[in-house]
Amino acid sequence: MKVLITGAAGFLGSHLCERFLKEGHQVIGMDNFITGDGKNLAHLILDWNFSFIRHDVSNYIFVPEKIDAVLHFASPASPNPLSPYGYTNLPIQTMKAGALGTHNALGVAKANNARFLLASTSEIYGMPLEHPQKETYPGNVDTIGIRAVYDEAKRFAESLTMAYYRFHGVDTRIVRIFNTFGPRMHLDDGRVVPNFIQQALRQEPLTVYGDGKQTRSFCYVDDLIEGIYRLLLSEEHLPVNIGNPIENTMIELAEEVNRLTENPAGLIFKEDMRVGDDPQQRRPDITRAKEILGWEPKVNLEEGLIRTIPYFKQEMNKNG
């Protein structure tokens, strides 16, 4: 196949480019570098099957070649207001990537009679009243909350994708991505895994907000990419959760990071600074992924951290 991947220079986009090239496909990467980083793609530049277009997906997309699949991954994704890459600091760009960007990417798929895969998110479930979250759960959302610029952009993107499937017959897929970590995350991404690893490598106490009992399920990036790849090749049009169903508290995560980095500094508890409508719990029900895709995560939290920590150590050394 010849595939167009938007957001190609981002954390997930770059891993997707790598996977499709490994499988023998041709890849056209697209990014405007608002949150993506060119170094994530540097190792692919000499691959004859890879090409790159610098472009903002919020503007009309023109690709002069026949495309077989479009994967729309362009969007800021970090919820942390202290990160320059956080969507609360890029609110308009985030909404445009989810709305105009999805519309333009769907237009490319329609014009080429190509498959389309939307990167959606567990954030569409909002503050869930159902746990774990099934794809049938409609969510408990705040349309004007601080996180709404991301959540509502993705909810609109899902609705638009299904409209193109039902009205135009575009061959669409929707993946709802739960917390994912691994190499190529920004050092100042602001999410908990990068924060903990960097504090631990500096031999500092890990900062846990609130009582540390809030939970997340952490999926290693290779597992996520495998699920996305299988979904694109499937015939499923309704949303599919991809994530790790094993929950960990923030305390458990912090203690595991300290153990693996041999950090003796322990933990420090501070006033809860989570963004307003940040949920206390989030965990995917992956029954549909198992049944439809034959997929479930293989890499546990310990192994994922072992693979991730050296990347952060290397990047921190580069930055002094």
Unique residue bearing structure tokens 């929707």: 174
Active site (annotated) includes residue 150: yes
Q: Where are the beta strands (DSSP E) in the chain?
A: 2-6, 26-31, 50-54, 69-72, 115-121, 171-177, 180-181, 206-209, 215-217, 219-220, 240-242, 247-249, 267-270
Q: Could you tell me how far CA 180 lies from the centroid of its own chain?
A: 6
Contact between 134 and 285 under an 8 Å Cβ cutoff? The reply is: yes
- DSSP-assigned letter for residue 47: -
Query: Which residue pairs from 18-26 have beta carbons closer than 8 angstroms and sit at least 24 positions apart in sequence?
Result: 18/44, 19/225, 19/226, 19/229, 20/229, 21/47, 21/49, 21/50, 23/229, 24/49, 25/1, 25/49, 26/1, 26/2, 26/50
Contact between 282 and 125 under an 8 Å Cβ cutoff? The reply is: yes
Distance, in Å, from the CA atom of 206 to the CA atom of 193, rounded to the nearest integer, reads 11
Distance, in Å, from the CA atom of 50 to the CA atom of 19, rounded to the nearest integer, reads 12
Distance, in Å, from the CA atom of 43 to the CA atom of 108, rounded to the nearest integer, reads 27
Question: Can you read off the two tokens belonging to residue 256?
Answer: 């595991």
Helices (H) and strands (E) in the chain, counts: 9, 13
* Choice among 85, 87, 125, 150 that is catalytic: 150
Q: 3-state SS of the chain: helix, strand, coil percent to 5? A: 40, 20, 40
Distance, in Å, from the CA atom of 223 to the CA atom of 230, rounded to the nearest integer, reads 11
How far is the first Cα of the chain from the last one, in angstroms, to the nearest whole number? 42
Query: Could you list the active site residues?
Result: 150
